[in-house]
Amino acid sequence: MIQDPAGGDPAKPPPAEEPAATSLERPAGVDEDLPPGTDPPPRPTATYHAAEEKALDFVRVFLRYEVGDLSPEVRAGIREHADARLARPLLAQPPRPPDAGSTPPPARVLKVDGVEAATGGGFDVITLIERAGQPRPLVVTVERRRGRWLATAVG
């Protein structure tokens, strides 16, 4: 019996090669209306999603805080989701609650309107909130601190 120098069986045909992807192919779901020569936008990564999720955790607590909810749950949430340089001044000088009985309900998060890279390696997470029927943006900057994503600025 004659053996193939490459070590294969001469009676078996060589395995078929996978067709190579061409540079003209775009990943599924990429906008086909992009102008020629334009790169598709980067796909969100796990890092992006983790930063977005942690920013939303902070926003949900912050919206309660800003209408005067200073419950232990809200205070703990601010300490948990914000860097100390943001949490300390928020907790040291909380907003003044309005007159008794007229506390407005907290705003609600409508959606995340975008996530952009921020200086320092973090992300600016742009949320759209609704207060008293009026939508407005609220931007939270999150950065990796102490091995986790924490809010470092809000505005």
Domain locations along the chain: 46-93+106-154
Query: What percentage of the chain has pLDDT greater than the value 90?
Result: 45
* 124 alpha-carbon distance from chain centroid: 8
Q: How far apart are CA 24 and CA 67, in angstroms?
A: 53
User: Is the confidence at residue 108, as pLDDT, over 80?
Assistant: yes
Query: How confident is the model over 49-75, as a mean pLDDT?
Result: 93
Q: How far apart are CA 23 and CA 86, in angstroms?
A: 46
What pLDDT, on the 0 to 100 scale, is given for residue 16? 47
What pLDDT, on the 0 to 100 scale, is given for residue 4? 46
- Class for the domain spanning 46-93+106-154: alpha beta
Backbone φ and ψ for 146, nearest 5 degrees, come out as 50, 35
User: Is the confidence at residue 86, as pLDDT, over 80?
Assistant: yes
Contact 114, 123 (CB under 8 A): no
pLDDT digit string, tens, across residues 109-153: 999 988 888 877 889 999 999 988 999 999 999 999 888 999 999
